Amino acid sequence: MRPLIDGHLDLAWNGASHDRELTLELAELNAAEEGMTDVGYRGKATVTFPEMRRGGIYLCLATFLARSGPKLQRKPSYLRTDVDYNTRIGSYAAAHAQWACYEYWQEIGEIRVLRSGAELEDHLRNQSAGAGQRQPIGVILSMEGADPITRPEQLDHWYNLGLRAIGPAHYGFSHYAGGTAVDGPLTSEGKELLKRMELLNMAMDVTHLCDRSMAEALDLFGGTVWASHHNCRALVPADRQLTDEQIKQLIARDAVIAAAADAWMLRPNWIIGKTLPGDLKITSIADHIDRVCQFAGNAKHSAIGSDLDGGFGTEQTPSDLKSIADLQQLDAILQSRGYSSDDIEDIFHRNWLRMFRRVLR
């Protein structure tokens, strides 16, 4: 089993908003949700801490997720009661509830929040020295949509908590940028936020940025950039995906583009809540990894950012993906397509480590 870094997991959102106990075995967690109907993915989870260890995941980017951006006059379909807040204080408070999850999990030894290069290297040494033993999972904190930051000047507070990467928008408009399903520019606050992020050596995650906001952000921001859970628009047409030109632009910035496991990003014309996985397989994730590698001419810019349990469960994953540990199947799939062991090591974890060492230096 290869070591693996997952570039996008909404761990604390599952803990705080869905009351999921991620310390359980996966079967126990799903059994505990039997009969619950508040969301359609109850009992279909794929991620717990034991399951992450089973899948070789020793490090991940884990998020804060809470939105409070300007609302459209007509309620968009992407608004959700477990994500959206009418006020900026609402999203600020919700993200702090998620921080409490990370604090608790760290206290009981399930995770370790990594804030510096020294802590990252110590975590890597401990993983190597304790091979075969239960170890805390390393966590680097990212924010999916910047609304919990109530003003750019507040960024230092979040940095001191451990935040090291930010995607300025999620779905719809944030107070900082346009995201998925809308189009628009960076706001004045968004431009100020990016300048402050660069001064703090934080990474910008372009995932979910609409085309206009992404173009402006890449022009303005000179620091480390990545796409934590982003697939290819040429394979699955949707504004949620990266165009070929955006992929080339990110490769030129030495970014990492991490493939996601969400089925509607893997199959064209997927209708959320209606389409079933059927014959969709994990090989479709490899298709997106391979396209990025073909543009780059090497395996230095592809990675994995599964987004598993990010508002969906096994009703919306490839049919052969029932657990986050099933991502290990990508090893054999990529080997069958001619990727060397060295290439796969890069895709599975070394490319993310290159990024993290820049941001945590």
How confident is the prediction along the chain (361 residues), in pLDDT tens digits per residue? 999 999 999 999 999 999 999 999 999 999 999 999 999 999 999 999 999 999 999 999 999 999 999 875 456 887 788 899 999 999 999 999 999 999 999 999 999 999 999 999 999 999 988 766 789 999 999 999 999 999 999 999 999 999 999 999 999 999 999 999 999 999 999 999 999 999 999 999 999 999 999 999 999 999 999 999 999 999 999 999 999 999 999 999 999 999 999 999 999 999 999 999 999 999 999 999 999 999 999 999 999 999 999 999 999 999 999 999 999 999 999 999 999 999 999 999 999 999 999 999 8
CA angle, corner 103, sides to 101 and 104, nearest 5?
Answer: 65
- The first and second tokens of residue 351, run together, are 């490319």
What is residue 70's predicted lDDT score, i.e. its pLDDT? 87
> Hey, which bits of the chain come out as E strands?
4-9, 57-64, 111-113, 137-144, 163-167, 203-205, 225-226, 257-259, 302-304
In the chain, the largest separation of any two C-alpha atoms, in whole Å, equals: 56
CA quadruple 217, 184, 189, 87: dihedral sign: negative
What is residue 77's predicted lDDT score, i.e. its pLDDT? 80
Homologous superfamily of 4-359: Metal-dependent hydrolases (3.20.20.140)
What is residue 74's predicted lDDT score, i.e. its pLDDT? 58
For residue 285, give the DSSP letter: H
What is residue 76's predicted lDDT score, i.e. its pLDDT? 82
CA distance 34 to 15: 17
